[in-house]
Amino acid sequence: MARWVLYFLPNLPFPPDYLVFMLARQLLALAALSLLTMSNSCKKEDDPTPCTTSADVPSSQLDGFTATIAEPLPNVGQSNEYVVNSAAEYRALFTGSKLPVVDFATHTLLAGKTRTPNCSHVLTQQVTQACTGYTYRVRLAAGPCAMPTNVVYYVIIPKMPATAKVSFDVQMQQGAASEGISTITELK
């Protein structure tokens, strides 16, 4: 290698072996520095903090609106869930000639329909937001009759991102004990 250096740099004030030694030393230092940098740049966090926070999302209802969804539910315990982000989706989902106005530029409508084994109604509903997405919890209360009924529920919340996931958690409460219609569905 010293001859190669001499060919390109014939008038050096120091021996060519010294130049080769210095170049090799600089390359070795550069390689060691590169390896050290690469090994530290891909280091994973040792103690990732799990996401445990959730916050209530403000929700509202449409005054005087009794929601009716035309899509049938043949089986008791079956639920359908909907995330509505446009006026076209809204008109296609709900039946009725005069639907209340919803501003879908600033709001999202979450809705569902569950077939219960008896006449039931919505007892409570709540929307929460966590790191993984939104959860819409609906608690239904059983009524006195033994006739299967379709229960429709909905809330209007501030506009969600288009990529947000929503899980629906619908529970049927019978008497003092909570029991069984529990549906969790993820939508994008």
Give the pLDDT confidence of 160-170 residue by residue, as tens digits: 998 999 999 99
For a pLDDT cut of 70, what percent of the chain falls above it? 73
Quick one: 115 and 174 in the same domain?
Answer: yes
Per the structure, the complete domain to which residue 13 belongs is given by 2-33
Residue 44 has pLDDT above 90, yes or no: no
CA 132 – CA 114 distance, rounded (Å): 25
pLDDT of residue 188: 35
pLDDT > 50? residue 179? no
Give 76's pLDDT tier (boundaries 50, 70, 90): confident
Is the per-residue pLDDT at 15 higher than 90? no
Q: Are residues 77 and 136 in the same domain?
A: yes
Whether 40 maps to a domain, the answer reads no
**Is 49 part of a structural domain of the chain?**
no
**Is 41 within the bounds of a domain?**
no
* pTM for this entry: 0.67
* Residues 19 and 98 both lie in one domain: no
pLDDT band at 92 (very low <50, low <70, confident <90, very high): very high
Residues 88 and 157 in one domain: yes
Verify that 23 and 63 share a domain, yes or no: no
Within this chain, do residues 85 and 10 fall inside the same structural domain, yes or no?
A: no
- 115/148 same-domain check: yes
Confidence category of residue 45, pLDDT binned at 50, 70, 90: low
Total domain count, the chain: 2
In a domain, 48, yes or no: no
pLDDT at 62 over 90: no
Does one domain contain both 107 and 148? yes
